Amino acid sequence: MSHFALICQQRNAELPVSLMPPEILCGIFHILRDAETISYSDPSNYPAIIAGHLRAQLGWMKVLHVMHAWRNTALGDPTLWTSITASLGRTAFEETMRRRRDSQIPVHIDISSSYRGLRWANAFAANYIIHRTGLQSIASLQVVGPSLPLLQSQIQMPQLRSLRVHLSRDGPSTLPRELPLIDAPALQELYIHNVVPCEHSGTPTRPLDIAPLCNITYLNLSFASDRLDWQPMHVIWILSQTSGLEYFRLSGYSLVVPDQDTRADDSAYQLLHLDKLTHLELDTSFIGAAYLLWRIRVNRETRIVLVVDVQRRSETVQLVQAYRLMRECHLHSNSSSLSGFRTLRLHGSKHESDYTATLSAWREDAPQLLLDDFNLGDVEHSPPEVTLTFMCGPAPAPILPFEDVLRIISLDTVHNLSLYSLSSCGFHISTWLEVFPSLSRSPLRWLRLNGYLALTFIRNDEILRDKSVLPHLETVALFGIPWTPQFGFPDPRQFLTRLLEARAALGTPIPTVLVEESQHHTEALFGIVDRDVVHALEPSDEESAQALDVWEI
């Protein structure tokens, strides 16, 4: 042993960490491996990525060269070498493959890197896996189009449970010809990006030749955006092959609505019951989603998420047909207590975001602290049970009529409701005139409104003078109202006073009104309204405070 090695050995022997038992050291190594995340947006990483060198974030591997005890401990724990990611660099990739060559512990392989210049990750990695190690222990696999040779003929992956395939737009037809050849009886999770209906299936209703589908519990399909090949019947057929499906997400706007003759062919749309499904998410065209939901039946506990992009305009006739189908789906439910669609989001472009309104609803078990807080943007512990984000548009009428929305989303058991919109929505008061009559019979106890929505509420005091309208309402949170009288505008304080007096006379008083604290506006309000009723809270954020300051004289 050299003099330098002897010094290192003596030094390491005196380090307290060297006296730790192997079990604790392994725990530390696992923490280091998981904590050192890779920053793919850091340009300093690109040279190491392309060259395949060990990057700084993989510093935990350097423990192999610190001391023999650490090296023996790391190499003796096969669970440290169960994640193989080509994008971490060729050196780390080869090191991990070599360290676990004889291990039968399930391994997770990701060769889906798409960096330009990283040719070795697309060509070399697949060949390395095939020739240097067996595929018996692969538990999860991520590949891209150039790496599909890994899924070669008669390949056996008995432990494969998760498969993610990212197909390139120029060659998506490769996938259906390869996947049927995989022997993966344990496959449960399947994600395919840029998938198109296979062209050799022989029948238009059999769009995806993937076997086996019967054991799939998680299915995520993303359509190629420039291929208009999919029809609702294709999706129905795929779902019909998955008897145990628990999670299904469909994204992409290439779902084509069939013509009238195809719609008349009822045999193409057999009613499908997905009894085990707990999450159904459709990020596609509104009319396409309507046709799917028309034929899909789920349990009332299933969370249904519908995302619609309003930039992709639909013909009025198609929208009317979609409304009819979705209402029919809701009305024909087996349970009268079905809560409808738990989440409905209608997305628009960034420049249209000023016309977005959000409805959030909680059942009666929502915590009071949450309800009293104006800042409901990031709700982690108690998320809304119903979330509706829709576009008002610059026109006076909303793109999605609120009355039709409430026929799709049932709020019969909602006690706590928040309606939030940016100020530019409210320049057309008529947009909101239909909101409160639609909610009039609901058992609301807590209602949060902002901006012009709040103004519309207190100005509709004639509607609220009906004793049967919102009889259980206890708390109203009014956000962003300029209570200081403005020249040429009606005084909102008079509307609020008249509303509170009318409700008290009916025997259905509103005991609590929450407003935002503002030096000028709050003082003006307290000079008119009883302080026992109105309570001021801090603004939810700086933007909200600035919105009120705009109204200062």
Q: What is the pLDDT of residues 89-132, one digit of tens each?
A: 666 667 677 776 666 677 777 666 544 334 444 445 555 555 54
Quote the CA–CA distance of 449 and 455 in Å, as a whole number: 9
CA–CA separation, 234 and 253 (whole Å) = 14
Highest mean pLDDT among 1-5, 28-32, 46-50: 28-32
| Cα gap 495→528, rounded to integer Å | 11
- Specify the pLDDT at position 247: 93
pLDDT over 50 (residue 3): yes
Is residue 430 over pLDDT 70?
A: no
Say which residue, 117 or 254, is predicted with more confidence. 254
Residue 391 tokens, joined: 């576009």
Query: What would the pLDDT profile of 344-397 be if each residue is shown by its tens digit?
Result: 554 443 344 444 556 666 655 544 444 444 444 433 445 555 565 554 444 444
What whole-number percentage of the chain has pLDDT above 90? 1
pLDDT at 337: 33
Average pLDDT, the chain: 65
Residue 62 has a pLDDT of 66
CA 77 to chain centre: 36
Higher model confidence: residue 201 or residue 221?
Answer: 221
Non-local CB neighbours of 247 within 8 Å, separated by 6+ positions: 217, 218, 219, 220, 277, 278, 279
Decide: pTM greater than 0.85.
no
Q: How high is the pLDDT of residue 248? A: 92
What is the amino acid identity at position 177? R
Task: State how beta strands 416-421 and 356-362 pair.
Answer: antiparallel
3-state helix/strand/coil string of 289-304 = HHHHHHHEEECCCCEE
Q: Left (φ > 0), alpha (ψ -120 to 50) or beta: where does 416 sit?
A: beta
pLDDT at 250 over 60: yes
Q: Which residues contact 537 (CB under 8 A, 6 or more apart)?
A: 372, 373, 374, 514, 515, 516, 517
pLDDT at 246: 92
Predicted pLDDT of residue 203: 46
Helix intervals (H) in 265-408? 286-295, 316-331, 368-372, 402-408
Of 543, 546, 493, the C-alpha closest to 515 is: 493
- Is residue 277 predicted with pLDDT exceeding 80? yes
Q: What is the pLDDT of residue 483?
A: 78
Q: Which of 179-188, 436-445, 541-550 has the highest mean pLDDT?
A: 436-445
Reported for 181-184, long-range contacts at CB under 8 A and 24+ positions apart, including other chains, are 181/151, 181/152, 181/153, 181/154, 181/155, 182/151, 182/155, 182/157, 183/154, 183/155, 183/156, 183/157, 183/158, 184/157, 184/158, 184/160, 184/212
User: 128-142, 186-200, 431-445, 457-471 — which is least confidently predicted?
Assistant: 128-142
Residue 130's contacts (CB-CB under 8 Å, 6 or more residues apart) are 150, 152
Question: Please, which pLDDT band fits residue 340 given cuts at 50, 70 and 90?
Answer: very low
User: Tokens standing for 371?
Assistant: 């309800």
- CA-closest candidate to residue 422, choices 372, 479, 370: 479
